[in-house]
Structure 1
């Protein structure tokens, strides 16, 4: 049975489609009870910081793309996210690659991107607690995120090939409903923070 580490490895090595639903959760107790009931496997809480960059000649706001460096503890990853598809869930292509660990490697990659013309946009900091769940030959990750400046959220996610997209999205929606989650949010944490800054 896949575990959380397998999920991250699968995500990094394969340019799959990411199917995700995000929810704001004012109270974690009900969700935690549901996760225990279905037998989801809890992973270690992770300290994450995401660094987003603007393209020198392409407007990522208009194209609905993203380029991100993510620090998970001492681990580093660089991620491309493609445009979101017009569905209830957030569906997009994601390509994620790990690179050398540690703050020095992180600083060097940030400097390299800036030298190439990419401009820092904003950082997103969060504490993420992942849960792994396997059901009907599909692996899911459910996360509880404490996002600095925004509050607490839950995400339900799986990865799929193009040909199995419809079934995968239906499975994500069904699992979210089983967990008592409603009113999905399609806006990213970055988008929420930027909108919050504009409104203040």
Structure 2
């Protein structure tokens, strides 16, 4: 199994929320997520992410999650492994010892919900704005790109104006910092 997602910049959150409600999507209360992204020391922004493992340490409600994602078809179609860790600082030290370098910190307020068989996240990302992500788990025999097109059709069926984004939050933040 691997995770496939599509992401969109939201210009009218009220319209999106109304459309989601009309489709029976109930969103959770917002939670704050503090993510530190990591890349292999030899990797640099601008290089391909396909086949490269990336790590993340997330703190949410006092709980720390360690995640490794390896993009397969593109940045939004990844093999993913995730587990709870007891000590964020010790895990940070372990990642640095294993040859990972901290890249960017991503802080967001996230609301989640289910839309049939898919997961949905509404994110207010500090320094970037509001985004909606739709995610599905697929088998390794299914094309990530085909699944993304299916998910894109689902989002487009809402009838609200959104802009599809193919970069991850870390890449978007990095681009914003470089431009500013």
Confirm or deny that 1:83 pairs with 2:71: yes
In the alignment, the residues of structure 1 paired with residue 163 and residue 13 of structure 2 have an alpha-carbon distance, to the nearest angstrom, of 16
Which residue matches 2:153? 174
Instruction: Give 5+ residue unaligned stretches, structure 2.
Output: none
The alignment covers a number of residue pairs equal to: 174
In the alignment, the residues of structure 2 paired with residue 95 and residue 144 of structure 1 have an alpha-carbon distance, to the nearest angstrom, of 20
In the alignment, the residues of structure 2 paired with residue 37 and residue 189 of structure 1 have an alpha-carbon distance, to the nearest angstrom, of 28
Counterpart contact for 1:81–1:92, Cα < 8 Å: no
What per-residue deviation string (whole Å, max 9, x for no partner) do you get for residues 126-156 of structure 1?
Answer: 000112111xxxx211211110111111111
Aligned residue for 2:19, secondary structure, equals helix
Tell me the C-alpha RMSD between the 2 structures. Answer: 2.1
Which residue matches 1:164? 142
Structure 1 residue ranges, 4+ long, deviating more than 4 angstroms after superposition: none
Q: Report deviation, 1:119.
A: 2.0
Which residue matches 2:56? 68
Aligned residue for 1:168, secondary structure, equals helix
Q: Counting helix residues as a fraction of each chain, which structure ranks higher?
A: 1
Instruction: Give 5+ residue unaligned stretches, structure 1.
Output: 1-15
Q: Report deviation, 1:188.
A: 1.1
Which residue matches 2:169? 189
- 1:78-117 equivalences under 5 Å are 78-83=66-71, 85=73, 91-101=76-86, 105-117=87-99
TM-score of the two chains, using structure 1 as the length reference: 0.77
TM-score of the two chains, using structure 2 as the length reference: 0.85
In the alignment, the residues of structure 2 paired with residue 112 and residue 162 of structure 1 have an alpha-carbon distance, to the nearest angstrom, of 29
Which residue matches 1:24? 9
